[in-house]
Each structure stands twice: as structure tokens, then as C-alpha cells.
Amino acid sequence: MKASDNTLSLLLLASAALVLAPLPLFVGNGTLRYLTDLCLLIAVAQLWNLLAGYGGIVSIGQHAFVGAGAYAFFGFAVLTGIHPFVAMALTLPFGMLLSVPVFAVVIRLRTAYFAIGSWVVAEVLSLTAGKLPGFGGGSGFSMPPDVVRAFGSDVTSRIHNVYWLALAILVAIVFLIIKILNSRHGLALKAIRDNETAAMALGVNPVVAKAVLFMISGGFLALLGAVNTLQKLRINPTASFSLTDWTVFIIFIVVIGGIGRIWGPIIGAVLFVVLRENLSGYGSAYMILLGAVAIVMMLVEPGGIAALLSRGWSRIVRVRPGSVSKPIAEGHRLTP
């Protein structure tokens, strides 16, 4: 990615944040809750994309961190009784710490088996969550009203605050990812993706480089899981650790939107929620459609819709000779 593209991405991010932040003044509570869900989906998708698209780590266990974050938030805020704001903030370092042993165990599996290994770990964490004393066992617990009220005394102000919280975390994640990709670390990741052995010969340690990404993703996922409890208002081993919500849908979002591109998860998530609104009555058929589209996308254009769009954009731009502006996504190609 060139420096100008970097600045352009950051400018676009800043303007998007400026447009989205005042929305609570204009739209109703229903729409706002919907947008909060969208922010959470895009954020989780960005983190999966950070691992798979840039780090070459395919995880099917992301839901473990979302669920662990929800449980950690409940544990800190309800069981130890510290202030809900502090409890929520603590889920970030908690997720980062949790990701260290998880990574240390699963990285022992060769690249391709890492995926199933992370799934086993997620199963272990979700089954364990159902056995923890004080967390309500298999049926879970509702969030106590005083914890929820700390995020807004009435429903409307709470919905506003949770929206701003989700939006702020999303912006922070995208900002961080853009920064990482333009740092030495991003360069190291690119080198690993192109040729791991050659990268190692140049002094890059692939395990450390991947571990850093895994920790960042684990921390933010836990934080997002904590925010999500304010939407769902309860913790439960099956719902908090939902494989479908936080891994299956997320993978489809990134694959269809465009893996290895910063716009991919955003395009994928928006498409996903729009389709879900219109096809929610079809349940299983919708899942089959998503699966089929993802497979076709992998076979036809592994770069997803973002790649198709950027190709179309390049064609338009090329019409005017002398124009040097390149699509932003161009820098994040899966295969250079």
C-alpha cells in the first residue's frame, strides 16, 4: 500500500465516522439497534479478515473469544462487583491474555489443521462456560438491571450509548488494521504470505508475527462480546459462544465481501444484513444460498465482491489517461 492510499483510507475512515456518529439524532431506536448489530458484525469480520486475509491464519474458533468476553464482563461486573465501565474495559486485556495459551496450543498444528484445532478449543471454552460456578450453568444469566443501567438510565439513552460504543470500537479496529498493514509488521506479514521460508531467512519470525495478530483479534473480540451482552441482555453458553453468529456468518461475510481487503468485510456485512432482512423467513434456504455463493466466489474470484468492484473501478479510471488514483483495496491483494 502506498503512503497516499494510506492517507486516503484514513480520510475515508474519518469521514465515515463523522457521518455515522450523529445518526442517533436522526433515526429511531429500532434502526439504531440494527446499526449497532451491523457495527459488531463488521468489527468481528474485520478481525477474522485480519487473521485470514493478512496473517494466513484460518480460525473456526472466533466465537470462543466473543463468548469468553461476554462471560468475563459478567464475571467482572456482577461477581466481583467492580464498576461496569471498568469491567467492560478489562475484557480487552482478558481476551488478549486468553489468546496466548490458545495460540500456543493450536499453532502446533500445521497451517491447514489450525482451523479445526481452533474449533476444538472453542468447544472446550463453551463447554467449560456452562460449568463455571456462579454463571448460571447451562441456562446462563440475565444481565442485572443496575449493570445495564450504568450504560444509560433510560432505554433511548442506552441504545444511543451502546451504538456509539460499538461504532467507536469498530473505528478503532479499522484504524489499527490500516496502521498495522502500513507498519514494519505489515511488511513482515506480506513477506510471510509470499514465501514463509524466505521471510524467515530475512529475520522475520512467522510465529511471533502471527501471535501478535491473534492477540489483537482475541482482545477486541472479547470486548465486542462484552458490548454484545448489552444488546442481548443475557449470557448463555450456547448463545454467547454461537458458532453460527460469530464464526459461520462472519466467514461468509468476509469470503463474499472480499478476503484480504479492508472493504471486504464492510461490503459483505452490509449485503448480509440486507439479505437477512428480506430472506429471514427462509432460514435454512438462506444458509444454503450463502454457502453456495461463498463456494462460487472462492472458485470464480477469491478476492470477493471487493475485488470485482476494484477491477471495475480500475477500468473506469483507466479511461482517463494521466489519472494515477488507484483503488485502495488494490494494496491488499490476497495473491500479489
> What are the DSSP E strand ranges found in the chain?
141-142, 234-235
Q: Which of residues 76-105 bind other proteins (CB under 8 A)?
A: 105
Q: From the list 23, 89, 115, 239, which residue makes contact with other proteins (rule: CB under 8 A)? A: 115
Cα→Cα distances 236→14, 44, 242, 250, Å: 36, 19, 9, 20
Residue 251 interacts with other proteins (CB under 8 A): yes or no:
yes
Residue 130 interacts with other proteins (CB under 8 A): yes or no:
yes
Burial category of 241 from C-beta neighbours within 10 Å (exposed 0-12, middle 13-18, buried 19 and up): buried
Least spacing, CB of residue 304 vs other proteins, in Å:
11
Q: From the list 86, 100, 127, 317, which residue makes contact with other proteins (rule: CB under 8 A)? A: 127
Q: From the list 2, 83, 131, 149, which residue makes contact with other proteins (rule: CB under 8 A)? A: 131
> Segment contacting other proteins (CB under 8 A): 75-83, 152-160, 284-292, 313-321?
284-292
Residues in the chain: 336
Count of residues binding other proteins (CB under 8 A)? 42
Q: From the list 14, 100, 292, 317, which residue makes contact with other proteins (rule: CB under 8 A)? A: 292
d(CA 72, CA 61) in angstroms, rounded, equals: 17
Residue 279 interacts with other proteins (CB under 8 A): yes or no:
no
Is the torsion defined by CA of 177, 178, 182, 183 positive or negative? negative
Residue 197 interacts with other proteins (CB under 8 A): yes or no:
no
Least spacing, CB of residue 197 vs other proteins, in Å:
15
Residue 335 interacts with other proteins (CB under 8 A): yes or no:
yes
β-bridge partners, 238: none
Cell of 76: 467482572
Taking Cα atoms as reference points, which of 128, 130, 105 lies closest to residue 118?
105
Indicate the residue among 53 and 327 with the shorter CB distance to other proteins. 53
What is the rounded (10 degree) CA torsion for 127, 133, 136, 142? -110
> Segment contacting other proteins (CB under 8 A): 25-33, 63-71, 170-178, 292-300?
292-300
Cell of 284: 435454512
Residue 139 interacts with other proteins (CB under 8 A): yes or no:
no
DSSP 129-177: HTT-TTTTGGG-EEPPHHHHHTT-SSHHHHHHHHHHHHHHHHHHHHHHH
Residue 176 interacts with other proteins (CB under 8 A): yes or no:
no
Binding site for other proteins (CB under 8 A): 52, 56, 58, 60, 105, 108-113, 115-117, 119-121, 123-124, 127-128, 130-131, 248, 251-252, 255, 259, 284-285, 287-288, 290-292, 294-295, 298-299, 302, 334-335
